[in-house]
Amino acid sequence: MEIIVTGAAGFVGQALAAALLSDPQVSSLTLTDVVEPSLPRQHEASSVATRCIKADLTSKETCQSLFTPSLGAVYLLHGLMSGASEANLDLGLKVNIDSMRLVLDVLRSVNPGVKVVFPSSCAVFGPSDGVVTETTMPLPGSSYGAQKHITEVLLNDYSRKGLLDGRILRLPTIIVRPGTPTGAASSFCSGIIREPLKGERSVLPVAPDFEIWVCSTRTLIKNLIHAREIDAEKFPSNSRIVNLPGMTVTSGQMLEALKDVAGEETVRLVEERRDPVIEKLVYSWPARFDTSLAERLGFSPDGTLKQTLDEYIEDYGDGSKLQRD
């Protein structure tokens, strides 16, 4: 199977690419982004034909050259993140909507029915006091959430018509991301763990009792791969949208997990300094999700916070050996 991953220079794209390189179903892998993606080190032991391409997916000509009839699956990971989308509306519209529609329209023209895995976000919802299901009405409290929701609706409709075979995954916030802070409003969820583990100071911009829906990197990658393997008939007849498994935690609980793993001195490197701009965005996201559909479809549940931190240290080091992002 030939697969293309967009947004492949980022952390999730690199982690997914590394896993796909050991997938026996994959024969060819194309990694593309606005900068040329790196080849994961796993390529040295892989027989998968791999190429890395710098590409502008707002260009129709570029999309027509990349998205070909031979592709068996597409992972659409490119996008402008939450904080950056809020700060620059026009760029968010261009990347998160216009580019996505362009890619989908090229695909439905040259490769009708191809599998398209689209990672969406819990940011498509507004604040909720209850448990969110796939049928809860989206009411985004951010431009990023609105832009993700628009692409959800479009891909779901193309799937309903049989033009594409979409798999729309509403992702929790992923922790712990290696490297440097991103443009995501939730970037601090990784920063309050990653930086202290390196012996560096970090800022908690929300209250310790702030709740958020999170997921570990290993669980996310496992579920991204599983999404491609699900038979189309197993999805509900009117929807390809799935709330992915995760866990509801507070920022204080994340710091407790850090303490368990690295000690009290490490936690003292985190300073609570409230940021109303970040709070306005992240407090608009729900923190509790019904994942019964995901369970029926065979997606993997997440583990504990301590397990997540242990996996991060094992995979990326405790600060001295962090992966390039």
Query: Which of 152, 124, 132 minimizes the C-alpha distance to 287?
Result: 132
What are the DSSP calls for 135-174, one per residue?
TSPP--SSHHHHHHHHHHHHHHHHHHTTS-EEEEEEE-EE
Pairwise CA distance, residues 7 & 15, whole Å: 11
In the structure encoding, which two tokens stand for residue 217, read together?
């990197």
Pairwise CA distance, residues 3 & 67, whole Å: 10
Pairwise CA distance, residues 313 & 15, whole Å: 15
Active site residue 144: yes
Instruction: Show Cβ contacts of residue 262 under 8 Å, excluding neighbours closer than 6 positions.
Output: 196, 197, 318
In the structure encoding, which two tokens stand for residue 232, read together?
């189309």
DSSP structural state of residue 125: S
**Backbone φ and ψ of 77, nearest 5°:** -100, -5
Q: Residue 203: is the preceding peptide bond cis (ω within 30°)?
A: no
Pairwise CA distance, residues 19 & 250, whole Å: 30
Catalytic residue among 75, 144, 158, 312: 144
Decide the pairing of beta strands 211-216 and 247-250: antiparallel
Catalytic positions, please?
A: 144
